[in-house]
Amino acid sequence: MKTLTLTTKSKTEITDITKEVREAVITSGVKEGICIVFIPHTTASVLVSENVDPRLQRDLLGSLARIAPDNVRYAHGGGNAAAHIKSARTGVSVALPVIDGQPLLGEWQGILFAEFDGPRDARKVHIKVIAG
C-alpha cells in the first residue's frame, strides 16, 4: 500500500492526485485488478470528477457550500459540522479498475482530494492496488 501525505492551505480546496495514483498503480506491477483510494478523514473526501477546467472545482466547492453552509448553527459542537456533511455527501473512497497496468479513467476524469476543514498539515491518502 502506498500512502500520500498532503498539506492543505485553505479552509476548502481541491487537489488533483491523479498522477500520484497512476504512479502507485504502475509501481505496484499489477496489470489487471482494482485500485482503491481511501482517506481516513471525516472532513475531507476523495472523488472522481472532471479535472481539466479548474472552474469546475470552484463550482463543486461552491455547490457543496450551499448544501452545507459554514454559517449555520449545527448540533455538532466541534464547529466543523459543515465539513463532516460535505465529506459524507462526497465519500472517502473510490475504486478504479486497473487495465493494462493503468487505472481506468475517462478522458476528462481525474482523482481529486477535497479538503473541507483546512488548512491541515498531514492529510493521508491510502492507495491499495489488488491483482484480480
The pLDDT of residue 41 is above 90: yes
Confidence of residue 76 (pLDDT cuts 50, 70, 90): very high
Confidence of residue 61 (pLDDT cuts 50, 70, 90): very high
Q: Work out the angle at residue 126's Cα, subtended by the Cα atoms of residues 32 and 28, and round it to the nearest 5 degrees.
A: 35
Provide, rounded to the nearest whole percent, the portion of the chain with pLDDT above 70: 100
Cα separation, 122 vs 8, in Å, equals 8
User: Can you say whether residue 32 is alpha, beta or left, with left for phi > 0 and alpha for psi between -120 and 50 degrees?
Assistant: beta
Question: What pLDDT, on a 0 to 100 scale, did the predictor assign at position 77?
Answer: 86
CATH 3.40.190.290 fits 2-131, yes or no: no
Provide, rounded to the nearest whole percent, the portion of the chain with pLDDT above 90: 96
Distance of CA 102 to the CA centre of its chain: 18
CB 90 within 8 A of CB 45: yes
The pLDDT of residue 54 is above 90: no
| Residue boundaries of the structural domains of the chain | 2-131
